[in-house]
Amino acid sequence: MLSDSLFILLVVAATALLARRPVPSARAAAAAGLLLAGAALTRTIALPLILLAVLVLAVRRVPWRRLAVLALSGLLPVAAYAGWYAGVHGRFAIGGGDGVALWARTMTFADCSVVRPPPDLAPLCPNGTVLDAAGEYVWARESSLNRLPGGHAALNDRARAFALRAIAAQPLDYLRAVARDTALAFPWTPVAHPARVVPAFGFAAGMWSLPADQPLVEQVRREYDPGLTGMRSVRPYADLLVAYQYPAYLRGPLLAAVLLVGAVGAVRRPRTAALPWAVAVTLLVAPVAVLDFDHRYVLPVVPVACLAAGLAFRRAPRHPAAPGGAAAHEAPVAGTRA
């Protein structure tokens, strides 16, 4: 609940540590790995960032011992958590909904006449239910997954197996769906996705009742708060939010421009700008690839994209002339020995 601020702090801190010097020290690599592990345990979408960081640093020819420190400090806490999860839930993982999420992603394009799933996966085929966003299939009572007995936890492995078969059978359709939904980050005026959500510029004064046909509402009333009602704005605080949202929102084309400048920086200064730019692109595309687009998922993209864009304009440090009048070579980075 409300994990975004913590997640952004962990990702930005780890990225800044690794981009601070062309060759990070062993201490910086260890700290960055721990920060990325914390980010992955806060939101699982950060798990690929550990491998991404190792890969980018390997391309930069960082000594292998630094890479090992980064990998171990990032993966060991995640493995420890997965071991605890296995002891409680009987499955070595850091969550139990990855298969259901990927299955929902495929519901926007899967064609079972092409996928040809085996009999045990055929009930997960699209059943004619059409929703306006992939993520909606996770919760819609009429979707094929939610018509099967057992619940999401019991169906997670089957859902993943179906999704992987669908992606393998329709790779171009999958890529088109990911590209189409990723592009929702770039319009000037935010698009409501799904239609029931309120994107940026949605703060307003008024009252909003809870949906009458949502069984989760009654469950929450029974288990947590019998007096649960809808939302209402409170003035004058609501007026501040209504006014704040307009200057504070980064418009989609401006985000695209920041990413473009960061891409230039990744090419011009790959030893510093490539990692934050790769992190930004991964954080933008990965949630869409494994589930769906959400405006909230774009928030962590902004600071690391801006870091990459800023590094595109960073000047190389000047070094004093060497004794005898010859120009000195670039000074070695502190702590470059393995």
Q: What is the pLDDT of residues 239-264, one digit of tens each?
A: 998 888 888 889 999 999 999 999 99
- How far apart CA 273 and CA 253 sit, in angstroms, is 21
What is residue 222's predicted lDDT score, i.e. its pLDDT? Answer: 87
Structure tokens at 330: 């670039």
- How far apart CA 22 and CA 332 sit, in angstroms, is 10
At residue 322 the predicted structure's pLDDT band, cuts being 50, 70 and 90, is very low
Tell me if 169 sits within 8 A of 116, measured CB to CB: yes
At residue 333 the predicted structure's pLDDT band, cuts being 50, 70 and 90, is very low
Structure tokens at 126: 């699209």
CA neighbours closer than 13 Å in the CB half-sphere of residue 186: 13
Chain CA centroid to CA 334, Å:
33
DSSP state of 327: B
pLDDT at 116 over 50: yes
Using the structure block, give the residue that is written with the tokens 């045990």: 120
Rg (C-alpha) for the chain, rounded Å, is 23
The residues facing 321 across adjacent strands are 327
What is residue 1's predicted lDDT score, i.e. its pLDDT? Answer: 65
Task: For residue 290, give every residue at least 6 positions away whose Cβ sits within 8 Å of its Cβ, in sequence order, or none.
Answer: 45, 98, 101, 102, 105
What is residue 317's predicted lDDT score, i.e. its pLDDT? Answer: 57
At residue 282 the predicted structure's pLDDT band, cuts being 50, 70 and 90, is very high
What is residue 247's predicted lDDT score, i.e. its pLDDT? Answer: 87
- How far apart CA 58 and CA 272 sit, in angstroms, is 13
- How far apart CA 80 and CA 82 sit, in angstroms, is 5
- How far apart CA 164 and CA 195 sit, in angstroms, is 27
* H/E element, 208: strand 207-208
